[in-house]
Chains A and B, each alone.
Chain A
Amino acid sequence: MASHVIEIKDLVKIYRLGEVEVRALDGVNLVVDAGEFIAIMGPSGSGKSTLMNIIGCLDRPTSGTYVLDGANVSELSRDQRAIIRNAKIGFVFQSFNLLARTSALENVELPMLYSDNTGSRRSRRDLALDALYRVGLKGREGNYPSQLSGGQQQRVAIARALVTNPAILLADEPTGNLDSRTSVEIMGIFQELNDSGKTVVLITHEPDIAQYAKRIVHVRDGLIQQDERVEQLRVQRQGIAAPVAPVVR
C-alpha cells in the first residue's frame, strides 16, 4: 500500500483563450500522505480551483504527472476518470450540490449506483445509513434537502462523499455558504473523519478555516509558495455517533 495518497510532479495547466494563454498552474509539486489533513489556501485566481479539478480527476493537466493512491491518473480518458472519481474521491462542494427533491438517504446512495461493484439494494441502504449516522444525521434519512438546514445539507454531502470509502475527501470551500458556528461544526466532522484515518484535502481562502487542518499549502500564481505543518486547532467533540461499522480500506 502506497503511503503517498497524492503525488504531484511538475504539474502545469494552461488554459487557452484564443491567442491568450493562461498558466493557471505553473509547475506544482505536492505530496500528500495517507491520513493527512491538508488545506490549500490562496487568493482568488491563484489556481486553487484548477488544482482541485485536477486532484479530483475532473480535469487533466497540460503536463506533469499525478499519481493518486498508487495509480497514475494524469492521462486517463473521461470515463476512466469518472471511475476513479467514483472509487477514490469524495467531493464536498461549497454549494452542497445535493439532488433536489431527493431524500438524504437517496442522495447518499447515489455514488454507489454508479459503482462497478454496486452491491445489493439492501447493502447500499445500510452503507448510506451508516454514513449518515457518522455525520450525525440519524433520524433525517427521509428529509429532502429543502427540509434541512445548510449545515445539515453539508453533512449529507459529506456522508455522500464518505459512503464509497474513497482515498481522499476533497472539499472545496465547504464552509463558504455556512455561518461561522456551523462552519466550525463541519470542520469538526472533517477532523473526526481524519482522526479515524481519512485523508482530507481542503480548499479554502479563509485562514480561520484553514487552521483546523494539520498542514497548510499556500498557492499563488499557479505555484506553491509555502508548505507548512501547523498546530491544528481542535474542534470540541460534538458527541457525533461513532462509526457503526468499522471502515476498512
Chain B
Amino acid sequence: MRNSFVRLGNITIVGLKSIARNKMRSLLTALGVVIGVACVIVSVAIGAGVAQSVSEMINSLGSNFIMIMPGAATQSGARIFTGQSTLTEEDVQALRREASALAYISPNLRTAAQLVAGELNWSTQIQGVDVDWPNIRSWNVEQGAFFTDGDVRSGAKVLVLGKTVADNLFPNGDAVGSVVRVKNVPFRVVGVLEKKGGSMMGSDQDDTVVIPYTTAMKRLMGQQKLGGIIASASSAEQVGEALDQIDAILRQRHRIPPGGDADFMLRSQEEIAQANQQQVQLMRNLLLGIAIVSLAVGGIGIMNIMLVSVTERTREIGIRMAIGARGRHVLLQFLFEAVTLSVLGGLIGVLVGVGVATGIGKIAHWPIVVSPTAILLSFGVAATVGIFFGFYPARKAARLDPIDALRYE
C-alpha cells in the first residue's frame, strides 16, 4: 500500500518534470481548456445575473400581484392580441365592487413620451394609473405625495416621477412643484417615487413616470379602452380565489359563455415568474450548451496534442520501458500530464472567465453573478475532460512495443 503510494508519487514527479520541460507545448495544450472553462464561467455568470435580475424584478411586482391583459390566450398559452382592447373603466369599477378577494385595483396604461423641464429633456415611459397603484406595486413616494382621487376624477395634469427621471430632469432635487411639459402640455410634479432598483438587462424600473389614468387617456393617448389592469389580492392565499372572481366577473360583463375563448388574460405574479423563469432557463441552457461544446473542443485539443506528443515522444516511451516502466507507469504518466494540463488550464480559465465576466458586467452594464459553484464545477469538469480525453493517447502510449519504440526516429 505504502509502496504503491510512493510509486504514484514518482509518476507524479515524472509527469510534472515532463510538463515543465515543454512549457510552450503545455501552454498550447491547455489553451483549449482555458477558453472552454472561461466560456463556462462567463456564460453561467451572465445567465445567473439575468435570472437574478428577472426574479428581482418580478418579486418587486408585489407578491399578491395580478395582471389583466387584453387579448385571448390560445390553448397553447400564447397570447393573441389584435390591437383592440376590450377592457374598460367600468370593468375596473365592477371588479372593485364585486371581487371580494381583491385588495387594490388600478388601470394600467403605458405610453412613451418625452418630458421637458426647462433646458433638460428625457424620454421615458408614462404609466396611467389609479391611486391604488403604490399599494399594488409596494412602491412609495419619497418626496411630495402621490396624486389624489380628486386628481384622477378631474383628469388633473399632475405627475409623479420615477427616481431616474427625477434625477435627470432635476439634478438639484427640486422636482416637486416644478412644471414638466409632456407633448407640450404642462404638468405639475406632485411627487417623486422611491428607488425601486432591480433593473433588467439595461431596462431600469425607475425610468418611469406615473400620472392619473384619466389624464393619460384624455390628454396623451386619446383612447377609451384600457391597455391593461393591475390588481392585488388581499393575501397570498387569496390569489387563486381572486383570479376566479375576476374571470367570472369579466366573462359576465363581456358576455362570454363558460368554456368560450375569453378576450382577456389573467396572470398572477407566480405565473409571470414561472413564464419568465422558463425563458431565462432556456437562455441559460443555451449559453451553457455553447460553453460545454467549447469545453469539449478544448478537451479534443488536449487529446490531439497528447496524441501528437505520444508520437513525438515514442522514443522517450521506449527508453522508459526499456529501463523498467510498466504499461501502467506510462499510462499514468500521460494521464497525469493530461489532467495536470487541463486542471492548469481550468485554473487559468477560471481567472480569465471571472475577469471577462466582470469586464462585461462593467462595460455593458449587465448583471453578473459569479458563483463559486460554477467555478468549482468547471474546475471539476476540466479535470474530467483531462482524464476523458487524455485516456486514449495515454493508453496508446502504454501499449507501445518497447523494441519498436526504441527504434523510432
Name A residues whose Cβ lies closer than 8 Å to a Cβ of B: 53, 56, 58-59, 78-79, 82-83, 85-87, 91, 93, 97-102, 106, 110-111, 113-118, 160, 164
Contact = CB atoms under 8 A, between A and B. Distances in A.
B251 interface: no
Interface string B304-330: 000000000001101111111111110
Contact of A82 (B3, B17, B22, B326): B326
A102 B21 contact: yes
Nearest to B407: A49
A101 B22 CA distance: 9
A111 B324 CA distance: 6
Interface stretch (B6-14, B106-114, B130-138): B6-14
Contacts of A82: 321, 324-327
B290 interface: no
Nearest to A106: B17
Summarize B's interface: helix, strand, loop or mixed. helix
A26 B318 CA distance: 27
A59 B403 contact: yes
Interface of B: 3, 6-7, 10-11, 13-14, 17, 21-22, 315-316, 318-329, 402-403, 406
Contacts of A106: 17
A160 B323 contact: yes
Nearest to B325: A114
Contact of B10 (A56, A118, A164): A118
Given A113-B11, A114-B7, 20 more contacts: A53-B403, A58-B402, A79-B328, A82-B324, A83-B326, A85-B322, A97-B319, A97-B406, A100-B21, A101-B21, A102-B17, A111-B323, A113-B14, A114-B323, A114-B325, A116-B3, A116-B7, A118-B10, A160-B323, A164-B324
A46 to B, nearest CB: 17
Contacts of A111: 323-324
Nearest to B319: A97
Nearest 10 pairs of A and B residues by beta carbon: A86-B324, A113-B10, A114-B324, A82-B326, A111-B323, A101-B21, A79-B326, A97-B319, A114-B325, A85-B324
